Amino acid sequence: GAGVSQSPSNKVTEKGKDVELRCDPISGHTALYWYRQSLGQGLEFLIYFQGNSAPDKSGLPSDRFSAERTGGSVSTLTIQRTQQEDSAVYLCASSSGGRTNEKLFFGSGTQLSVL
């Protein structure tokens, strides 16, 4: 497809389990972002990848959260030992990369529910 693809679209898990969320950015985009939106809140920045540079992980809320981007394309966000407060929509976005104030293209998100 032409857009940012995220999977799964919905994930229900039990507290304490680990989850992996996947993002396929737009082909050729070198910049990739993860945001999350908790209920009633705005989008919250989590992490930013740009090319081969070290990612900006300043938005990750705890050390239970990690993300990697393999081969400069697909990214996986991993949440270990999930907690109920991790329930949110996790949104991935990509942009062409390397320029100031680029337009972000968002995927449809993964709705994570931690029971």
Q: Which residues bind other proteins (CB under 8 A)?
A: 4, 31, 33, 35, 40-45, 48, 50, 56, 58-59, 91, 93, 95, 100-109
For other proteins, the closer CB: 24 or 109: 109
Rg over alpha carbons for the chain, rounded to the nearest Å, is: 13
Helices (H) and strands (E) in the chain, counts: 0, 10
- ∠ CA 97-103-104 to the nearest 5 degrees? 80
Smallest separation (angstroms) from other proteins to the CB of 37 = 8
C-beta closer to other proteins: residue 73 or 111? 111
State in angstroms the smallest separation of the CB of 43 from other proteins. Answer: 4
Note whether 18 and 79 are within 8 A (CB).
yes
- Collapsing DSSP to helix, strand or coil, 14 comes out as coil
The Cα–Cα gap between 106 and 67 comes to: 17
Q: How far is the CB of 108 from other proteins (least distance, A)?
A: 5
Residue number, 18 or 102, with CB nearest to other proteins = 102
